[in-house]
A and B are shown apart, each in its own frame.
Chain A
Amino acid sequence: MLRVLYGCVLRAHPRYFRERFAAEMQSIFDHTESKFAAAGLLADALLSLARQWTLRPQYWEEPSLAATADGAPFFYTLGTSKPRTAALASGAFLSVLVLNGVCWTMGYAWNHPRFMDIRPGYGPSGRVPESKLISRPVHRSPVVAEPPLQSDQGRVLLVFKSPVRAATSPANPVKSPPQVPTASAAPTAEAYSPTSPAEASWPPRAWQSYVGRYVSNSAGSEKVNITIEGERLHLEVVGKFRSALVPLPKPQLLACSAGDCQVAFSTNASGTVDRIEIHHGGREIRAFRVQGAVF
């Protein structure tokens, strides 16, 4: 009974004092031999209880830092395992920042693509020196490079060699190839040696086959005159424009000396030039040759 009472008095002590010394005090009580001594210890415990709750408020709670026997401090976890609100807010802001950075980088890369030359021997910066190539270059027989085609306002004209004259031209002037004449009627590319990619010298006799007048069958009914003046062919679209023609390396293909204009002649089955195609200012004029003098 006394032991139970003593235990109750010990439990009534402040928590910090109780955690530290209650077990030892109980141990001392258990070693008492007489009930008289036990009663004395009970009275002492009651006195201690009053003293701790009235005179020792600084020991009601454990101090912020306690020390071990060798002076090393005890560390207690005062906070909870829940993260601080400020830490959560900072982490959220940082996460949004990183995510926006990644999305912006992806968007920038999508809008600013970089094309790489995947040809053998070429890298991101262009031609790679042979000394830096890992693999040996393949030596192939040299291929004669074809002269570049003149373009009409950036468009590329495709030239198809065919002995048969094309019946009609496609709607898209960019893709319509000018007809190449037969070897007997008109000069071919092999018969001439162009002095420059932009201009070739044709024999004057070849020009004569182009001289004449041409009439288009479109709604405008343009009239075209091809004449020789001096040593050059001249083109005149009646009422529109006039220009000298510069022969190109490709047969039957000429360019205007001034302005953005390109002229292609076509022959019939007998090899006679009977049609002209003029690409000028984004327009295309197709005209057929008519007999008689110029307009």
Chain B
Amino acid sequence: MRENFNTYLPLSPATLHILLSLADDELHGYAIMQEVQRQSEGKYKLGPGTLYDNLQKMIDRRLVEELGQRPGDDDPRRRYYRLSSLGRGVLAAEITRLDGVVREGKMRLQAKPRRA
């Protein structure tokens, strides 16, 4: 049965950025914070409290999977996370929605020129 991704939409900015950062690779919490800062060009910063609060909800909703520790890591307290298939689908649905929002916005803005 196909999952209805629309029930998870719209995503909060923190959830969206976390899912985006995990789209390419499995990352630990500190790396997620750094990736989010990089993606937003420093405009959006996640604190550990906000990060793990959102990770807790996403793990509970099965959007993110917790992998645990990796052997050989320089900090054994680090735990890695990855995007689940459901999370990937929800992210894609959110990107599609946002893409529609951007297209609609551009169309409306071009149609109505600025008044002097």
A interface vs B, CB < 8 Å? 17, 20-21, 23-29, 31, 40-41, 44-45, 47-49, 51-52, 56, 59, 63, 67-70
Chain A residues within 8 Å of B66, by CB: 68-69
Within 8 Å by CB of A41, from B48, B52, B56, B78, lies B48
Contact in complex: B48, A25 (CB < 8 Å): yes
A69 to B68 Cα, complex, angstroms: 8
Contact in complex: B52, A47 (CB < 8 Å): no
Cβ distance A117 to chain B, nearest Cβ, rounded Å: 77
Contact in complex: A44, B56 (CB < 8 Å): no
Stretch at the interface among B28-36, B89-97, B100-108: B28-36
Contact in complex: A28, B48 (CB < 8 Å): yes
Contact in complex: A27, B56 (CB < 8 Å): no
Chain B residues within 8 Å of A68, by CB: 66
Residue of A nearest to B52 (CB): A21
Q: Is B67 an interface residue (CB 8 A)?
A: yes
Q: A20-B56, A59-B56 are in contact. Are A69 and B48 (CB under 8 A)?
A: no
Contact in complex: A24, B56 (CB < 8 Å): no
Contact in complex: A24, B49 (CB < 8 Å): no
Residue of A nearest to B28 (CB): A24
Contact in complex: B78, A24 (CB < 8 Å): yes
Q: Is B53 an interface residue (CB 8 A)?
A: yes
A17 to B66 Cα, complex, angstroms: 14
What band does the interface of chain B fall in when counting residues whose beta carbon is under 8 Å from A? 20 to 34
Contact in complex: A29, B48 (CB < 8 Å): yes
Known: A45-B48, A48-B49. 19 other contacts (CB 8 A): A21-B29, A21-B52, A21-B56, A23-B77, A24-B48, A24-B79, A25-B29, A27-B78, A31-B75, A41-B47, A41-B48, A44-B47, A45-B49, A47-B47, A48-B47, A48-B52, A59-B60, A69-B67, A70-B65
A68 to B68 Cα, complex, angstroms: 9
A67 to B29 Cα, complex, angstroms: 19
Contact in complex: B30, A44 (CB < 8 Å): no
Cβ distance A158 to chain B, nearest Cβ, rounded Å: 98
Cross-chain pairs A/B with CB under 8 angstroms, 17 sampled: A21-B48, A23-B77, A24-B48, A26-B77, A41-B47, A44-B47, A45-B49, A48-B47, A48-B50, A48-B53, A49-B49, A52-B53, A56-B53, A56-B56, A59-B60, A69-B67, A69-B68
Cβ distance B101 to chain A, nearest Cβ, rounded Å: 27
Cβ distance A14 to chain B, nearest Cβ, rounded Å: 11
* Main secondary structure on A side of the interface with B: helix
Chain B residues within 8 Å of A59, by CB: 56, 60
Contact in complex: A28, B30 (CB < 8 Å): yes
Contact in complex: B52, A25 (CB < 8 Å): yes
Chain A residues within 8 Å of B17, by CB: none
A69 to B60 Cα, complex, angstroms: 12
Chain A residues within 8 Å of B68, by CB: 69
Chain B residues within 8 Å of A20, by CB: 52, 56
Chain B residues within 8 Å of A21, by CB: 29, 48, 52, 55-56
Which of B28, B48, B52, B77 has most chain A Cβ within 10 Å? B48
A28 to B47 Cα, complex, angstroms: 10
Within 8 A of A (CB), among B77-92: 77-79, 82
Chain B residues within 8 Å of A47, by CB: 47, 49-50
Within 8 A of A (CB), among B1-48: 28-30, 33, 47-48
Chain A residues within 8 Å of B30, by CB: 24, 27-28, 31
Top 7 A-B pairs ranked by shortest CB distance? A48-B49, A44-B47, A27-B77, A21-B52, A23-B77, A69-B65, A25-B48
Contact in complex: A44, B67 (CB < 8 Å): no
Residue of A nearest to B78 (CB): A27
Contact in complex: A48, B48 (CB < 8 Å): yes
Chain B residues within 8 Å of A29, by CB: 48
A31 to B78 Cα, complex, angstroms: 12
Cβ distance A179 to chain B, nearest Cβ, rounded Å: 110
